[in-house]
Amino acid sequence: MSILSIKNLHAEVDGKEILKGIDLEIGAGEIHAIMGPNGSGKSTLSYTLAGREGYTVTKGEVVYQGKNLLEMLPEERAQAGVFLAFQYPVEIPGVPTVTFLKQAMNSVRKARGEKQLDAFEFKKLMDARLKELNIVNDMVRRALNTGFSGGEKKRMEVLQMALLEPTLAILDETDSGLDIDALKTVADGVNALRAADRSMLVITHYQRLLDYIVPDHVHVLFEGRIVRSGDKSLALELEEKGYTDITGAAA
């Protein structure tokens, strides 16, 4: 069953067309990787799917679980199970991480018609997730992402993903700014969240992330279009030959 169906998606930022006709089908539980050089439109694709203001869709359609995703507000998309792990998680000074997490959790639960969690119930749930992901408690007591190291920020994204249990997780260059140890830790967290009812779109510049989060499908994004698709071996081919060769060959 298709979770996400993107057809001929065109999008622009500040009047400049960045996405020039993307087609992509993601089935339930599948992991798709999108690779591409800088400026190919990777981040634009993730922001467009998340509904960020300023990313204007000019053509095409996106159907998520049978619904028109493009008609939904950003928070509605999140509530419906679309999760974006940010390339650069945002610092919100003065807001304790635990407060933020609880509010996010309860906003999503409220939208889904589920019972709100009280402080005690939430803490129990959070502690369980922290343990699974091997994250120290100290982090959630600090202000959200404020003064966190690159690795901590990315682990916080994974923790949020674990709590919000998305149907579609978009990982935007999760590997950027991480050393190999931090990368492994984050990848372990993501792998722990692989599930039959959870699809993932892993966006990355480098192949190395895909050594740890092994995709079912790999797509090469170049100048706003997917120019090649294949299985995980395509990532290795890219690594070997570089983007110029692949995109050149496709042109």
Partner 1 sequence: MAIAQATIDSVGEATDKYKYGFVTEIEMDRAPRGLTEETVRFISAKKEEPEWLLEWRLKAFRHWLTMKEPTWARVGYPPIDYQDSYYYSAPKSDADRPKSLDEVDPKLLETYEKLGISLKEQEVLAGVRNVAIDAVFDSVSVATTFKDRLEKDGVIFCSISEAVKKHPELVKKYIGSVVPYSDNFFATLNSAVFTDGSFCYIPKGVRCPMELSTYFRINASETGQFERTLIIADEGSYVSYLEGCTAPQRDENQLHAAVVELVALDDAEIKYSTVQNWYPGDENGVGGIYNFVTKRGVCEKRAKISWTQVETGSAITWKYPSCILKGDDSVGEFFSIAITNNRQQADTGTKMLHIGKNTRSRIIAKGISAGKSQSTYRGQVRINAMAEGARNYTQCDSLLIGDKCGAHTVPYIESKNRSARVEHEATTSKISDDQLFYCLQRGIPQEDALTLIVNGFCREVLQELPMEFAVEAQKLVGISLEGSVG
Tokens standing for 74? 């950003």
In the 8-state DSSP scheme, what is residue 69? Answer: G
Determine if 56 is a binding residue for partner 1 (CB under 8 A): no
Nearer to partner 1, 60 or 74 (CB): 74
Query: Shortest gap between Cβ of 25 and partner 1 (angstroms)?
Result: 23
Determine if 15 is a binding residue for partner 1 (CB under 8 A): no
Given candidates 66, 93, 113, 147, which one binds partner 1 under the rule CB under 8 A? 93
Nearer to partner 1, 82 or 210 (CB): 82
Determine if 78 is a binding residue for partner 1 (CB under 8 A): yes
Determine if 53 is a binding residue for partner 1 (CB under 8 A): yes
Residues 6+ away with beta carbon under 8 Å from 13: 44, 54, 55, 56
CA distance linking residue 185 with residue 187, whole number of Å: 5
Determine if 147 is a binding residue for partner 1 (CB under 8 A): no
Question: Taking a C-beta distance cutoff of 8 angstroms, is the pair 185, 154 a contact?
Answer: no
Asked whether the CA dihedral 230, 233, 238, 241 is positive or negative, the reply is negative
**Among the residue ranges 78-86, 187-195, 202-210, 234-242, the one whose residues contact partner 1 (CB under 8 A):** 78-86
Number of residues that bind partner 1 (CB under 8 A): 31
Tokens standing for 148? 């966190």
Single-letter amino acid code for the residue at 152: E
* Residue 199 β-bridge partners: 168
Given candidates 86, 122, 148, 222, which one binds partner 1 under the rule CB under 8 A? 86
Given candidates 64, 83, 148, 222, which one binds partner 1 under the rule CB under 8 A? 83
DSSP assignment of 12-46 equals EETTEEEEEEEEEEEETT-EEEEE--TTSSHHHHH
In the 8-state DSSP scheme, what is residue 71? Answer: G
CA distance linking residue 108 with residue 212, whole number of Å: 30
Query: Shortest gap between Cβ of 112 and partner 1 (angstroms)?
Result: 9
**Among the residue ranges 22-30, 58-66, 104-112, 115-123, the one whose residues contact partner 1 (CB under 8 A):** 104-112
Positions in the binding site for partner 1 (CB under 8 A): 50-54, 73-75, 77-79, 83-84, 86, 89-90, 92-95, 99-100, 103-104, 107-108, 111, 143-144, 160, 164
